[in-house]
Amino acid sequence: MATQIFVNLPVKDLKRSVAFFTALGYTFNPQFTDENATCMIVSEEHIYVMLLVDTYFQTFTSKTIVDAKTSTEVLLCLSCESRAQVDDLVGKAVAAGGTTPTPAKDHGFMYQHAYQDLDGHVWELVYMAPGAVPG
């Protein structure tokens, strides 16, 4: 069985977060969705993001939840199939209420851009040209 990853992120308003990520083209597993949480499908059978209402998220840890709008605990990075897909997803995120924390960067072999979701979590998007990664 392939390893799966379930990233858990705290959110303030679950319905608003679902609407935001739906605007980016993501879908959700209704089996793991209720008023406290939802399972966003990033890559069928491999990558999922559990969006958890912050009060529910707190039940899983004794540590303080980081305010992602003022502090960074993690940067999420997803690969894309093209530069156009990177720009398209960032554009959709901004149109849905997100922001861009930094300008796009072109490293020649890699193109990257990022958006912040409604709760301030940073989602980096990268496209690496096949065979262009420096040795």
Per-residue pLDDT at 121 exceeds 70: yes
* 56 confidence band (pLDDT: 50, 70, 90): very high
pLDDT of amino acid 134: 61
* 45 confidence band (pLDDT: 50, 70, 90): confident
* 135 confidence band (pLDDT: 50, 70, 90): low
Q: What is the mean pLDDT of the chain?
A: 94
Residues 78 and 124 sit within 8 Å (Cβ to Cβ): yes
Q: How many CA atoms lie within 13 A of 93 on its CB side?
A: 23
Per-residue pLDDT at 1 exceeds 80: no
pLDDT of amino acid 133: 65
pLDDT of amino acid 67: 94
Interior/surface letters 92-101, b for 16+ CB within 10 angstroms, e for the rest: bbeebebeee
pTM score of the predicted model: 0.91
Which one is the CATH code of 5-128: 3.10.180.10, 3.10.20.30, 3.30.565.10, 3.40.190.10?
A: 3.10.180.10
> In this structure, is the dihedral angle defined by the CA atoms of residues 49, 52, 56 and 61, taken in order, positive or negative?
positive
